[in-house]
Amino acid sequence: MNRVMKYNAPFIKFYSNYILWNRLLKLASQTDFNIMKKLLLAFCLAACFTAVDAQRGGAPSSQAADDAAYIKANYTKTEQYIAMRDGKRLFCTIYSPKDQSKKYPIMMTRTPYNVGPYGEGYKGALGQNMLLAKEGFIFVYEDVRGRWMSEGDFVNVRPQINGTTNTSKIDESTDTYDTIDWLVKNLPNNNGRVGIEGISYPGFYSTASLPNAHPALKAVSPQAPVTEWFIGDDFHHNGAFFQMDAFAFLTSFGVPRPKPLTPEQFKNGIKFTQHDNYKFYLDLGALPNYKKKFLGDSVKFWDDMMNHPNYDAFWSTRNITSHLTNVKPAVMTVGGFFDAEDAFGAQAVYKAIEKQNSQNTKNMLVLGPWFHGGWERGDGDLFGDQDFGSKTSVWFRENVELPFFNYYLKDKGAMDLPEATIFVTGENQWHKFDTWPPKNTVEKTLYFQPNGKLSFTAPKVTNSFDEYVSDPAAPVPYQDGIQERRTREYMLDDQRFASRRPDVKTYQTDVLAEDITMTGPVMANIYSAISSTDADYVVKLIDVFPDDYPNPTTNPKGVTMAGYQMLVRGEIFRGRYRNSFSKPEAFVPGKVTQVKYALPDVGHQFKKGHRIMIQVQSSWFPLADRNPQKFVDIYKAKDSDFVKETIKIYHDTMAPSSLKVTVLQ
């Protein structure tokens, strides 16, 4: 849930080093604040810490200076408190075009990350890219309730109340409604139409504008929206705790403010130092140690998570998807296939609107080859070791995002966008589909076979399995090498380092005789027996490049692409939740047990001459916390609770472990 960004160097999510935060803000007031703001947004829930120069490429570019000059020359900034229905006031900065000869729609972003610079300083860019600023809108940025200069109490992913517009109870939907109502009635030269967009946590607030939406709200774009913090976004994936992102984020964002204040006045972030994240989190040990050594009683949401280990009302009330009914505005949800924070959220929002609304609801989906927020900055032609062959981000901004808002807010242009605009990696082409997943697809099943084989034919042997020892003292790393902070590149990086470990089981097809294009859902179906009472399962879908695949012409990292194992999709599942996220169950030692779960959708073509590989392992560290491999409350576990266990993965007629995929015809 966190963040927003756009750059070519390692991505950042939020950041606990508050000194660097202040430096960013000071730099932002001098140059391009919007880029800085989006970096801060990006920091928001993940823990991809990197130097700011890596994100900005050093000193501010001449383009950034030109953008800042354009904003100052063409927009007038004002600041405004807007009263909500319960009397609390929310703080907004408003940028209105100086040309007042015509009316403009309002483009709004609601954020928990701050709307600065506060006072006389100007943002260096407006909207999520300069195309929007140059097109001309009234831009409104609002500190959400309880954050920075807004009054009231902040609640993370505030639960919906299902209230109506005449109730005194509040949620993010009512705050959005009340803000829009004031704006359209009071801002000079507005045309009575409002659009909302935001990435990550601001993406959640974009989604939250949809229930009981104000009539003036015509177009909404939730982008990588925080959506479900137990099943698939940020803090948990299928019940497994993403400790690295949660700890890095909450050591700053989770510390409460004493009163409305600006970022420069915030002094309470929790400091910690790490240079090797694998070693840091391994040495930290069981989850209760985080509170003892660093957090104390200062981070309430951390305590909430520790006290709600299963999917109970605390989590279910924070899942906004069930409230996405009777949607009136046009919606364009945007996500990245390689988004390390909220790949799940974008797909979940689109699917919920599609399922719970009439066919007349305008519901669109855009999925590209992007990291978190990568569609809004940078060209989008390169990510990690992969070259996508075109400037995918530029194309999206020019051909999808700007036309969407122009049509619904300005009656400009034609609405000829398809329901699903999808970039298929491997093939490296944009596709326009009437539905997602596309209609012309079939489900096929890749079955594990003896001797590390993988095929679309079910196994014909009996009592066949592979086994490995999962040791919490030596968990499988999520990425090769040494990292200080969680990277974004792990989402599509080379997996050869993992395939060489004895605690990772690898299955691959023969060399493909034809292209296979996967567009849609992926379902893991693992049959396993373990020697203890709990286990995690990580399933990875991988594209294995040919042994004679050429290296790129420009190859500063010296990467060997021959035999490269590109991660297409990976996901973890905490085995105790195999039957219910609300009612965990212990495994019976030695009993063959089915563990079935969905991975986020994919859009990838496995080329002729490549191979398809699946890897299975039981840790993904320190991305996800270690399972003690005993059926205990993991959030209250002791260091002494962690044990080795033997895990068997079956692939026979009675227990055919497999991966179901959606293949484009």
SS3 per-residue string spanning 28-84 = HHHCCHHHHHHHHHHHCCCCCCCCHHHHHCCCCCHHHHHHHHHHHHHEEEEEEEEEC
Mean pLDDT check: name the lowest of 20-24, 124-128, 197-201: 20-24
Average the pLDDT over 417-446 and give the result. Answer: 98
| Amino acid at residue number 219 | A
pLDDT of residue 353: 98
Residue given tokens 């689109």 in the structure block: 350
Q: List the one residue out of 75, 135, 35 whose CA is nearest residue 401.
A: 135
| Amino acid at residue number 99 | D
pLDDT at residue 360 is higher than 70: yes
pLDDT of residue 163: 59
pLDDT band at 13 (very low <50, low <70, confident <90, very high): very low
Q: Strand, helix or coil at 609?
A: coil
pLDDT at residue 28 is higher than 50: no
- Are the C-beta atoms of 522 and 657 separated by less than 8 Å? no
Query: Within 13 A of 300's CA, how many CA atoms are on the CB side?
Result: 6
pLDDT of residue 170: 97
Average the pLDDT over 325-339 and give the result. Answer: 98
Mean pLDDT check: name the lowest of 247-256, 259-268, 511-520, 628-637: 259-268
Asked if the bond preceding 117 is cis, omega within 30° of 0, the reply is yes
Q: What are the pLDDT digits (tens) for 154-211?
A: 999 999 997 555 568 999 999 999 999 999 999 999 999 999 999 999 999 999 999 9
- Where b means 16+ CB within 10 Å and e means fewer, 494-508 reads bbeebbeeebbbbbb
- Are the C-beta atoms of 56 and 24 separated by less than 8 Å? no
Which percentage of the chain shows pLDDT scores above 70?
Answer: 90
Helices 33-43/18-30 angle, 10° precision: 160
pLDDT at residue 273 is higher than 80: yes
User: Cα 186 to the chain's mean position, in Å?
Assistant: 35
Q: What are the pLDDT digits (tens) for 46-91?
A: 333 333 333 333 456 899 999 999 999 999 999 999 999 999 999 9
Task: Say how far apart CA 447 and CA 459 lie, in whole Å.
Answer: 7
Residue 407's CB is within 10 A of a number of other CB atoms, namely 18
Task: Say how far apart CA 151 and CA 83 lie, in whole Å.
Answer: 10
Burial of 164 (0-12, 13-18, 19+ CB in 10 A): exposed
pLDDT at residue 504 is higher than 80: yes
pLDDT of residue 61: 83
Length of the chain: 665
pLDDT of residue 131: 97
Domains recognised in the chain with CATH numbers: 18-433 (3.40.50.1820), 441-664 (2.60.120.260)
> Please, what is the average pLDDT of the chain?
91
Average the pLDDT over 100-119 and give the result. Answer: 97
Sign of the torsion angle spanned by Cα atoms 399, 402, 406, 408: positive
Residue given tokens 């964002």 in the structure block: 253
Task: Say how far apart CA 188 and CA 204 lie, in whole Å.
Answer: 28
Task: Say how far apart CA 379 and CA 156 lie, in whole Å.
Answer: 32
pLDDT of residue 22: 38
Pairing of strands 75-83, 89-97: antiparallel
pLDDT of residue 51: 32
φ, ψ of residue 496 to 5 degrees: the values are -65, -30
Average the pLDDT over 418-427 and give the result. Answer: 98
pLDDT at residue 292 is higher than 50: yes
Read off the DSSP letter of residue 118.
P
- Are the C-beta atoms of 5 and 482 separated by less than 8 Å? no
Task: Say how far apart CA 451 and CA 583 lie, in whole Å.
Answer: 36
The continuous run of DSSP H or E covering 552 comes out as none
Can you name the residues that pair with 347 across neighbouring β-strands?
Answer: none
Contacts of 26 (CB under 8 A, 6+ apart): none
User: Cα 180 to the chain's mean position, in Å?
Assistant: 27
pLDDT of residue 267: 79
Contacts of 448 (CB under 8 A, 6+ apart): 454, 459, 507, 614, 649, 651, 656, 657, 658
Average the pLDDT over 381-385 and give the result. Answer: 97
pLDDT band at 226 (very low <50, low <70, confident <90, very high): very high
Average the pLDDT over 209-226 and give the result. Answer: 98
Residue given tokens 């700053």 in the structure block: 252
Can you name the residues that pair with 368 across neighbouring β-strands?
Answer: 336
Q: What are the pLDDT digits (tens) for 559-584?
A: 999 999 999 999 999 999 999 999 99
| Amino acid at residue number 260 | P
pTM over 0.85: yes
pLDDT of residue 165: 54
Mean pLDDT check: name the lowest of 256-265, 403-412, 485-494, 598-607: 256-265
Q: List the one residue out of 98, 126, 103, 93 whose CA is nearest residue 190.
A: 103
Task: Say how far apart CA 189 and CA 519 lie, in whole Å.
Answer: 45
Average the pLDDT over 624-653 and give the result. Answer: 98
Structure token pair of residue 458 = 């079910």
Q: Strand, helix or coil at 407?
A: helix
pLDDT band at 4 (very low <50, low <70, confident <90, very high): very low
Burial of 451 (0-12, 13-18, 19+ CB in 10 A): exposed
pLDDT at residue 453 is higher than 50: yes
pLDDT of residue 647: 98
Query: Within 13 A of 197's CA, how many CA atoms are on the CB side?
Result: 28
Task: Say how far apart CA 450 and CA 618 lie, in whole Å.
Answer: 20
- Are the C-beta atoms of 497 and 567 separated by less than 8 Å? no
φ, ψ of residue 39 to 5 degrees: the values are -60, -45
Asked if the bond preceding 622 is cis, omega within 30° of 0, the reply is yes
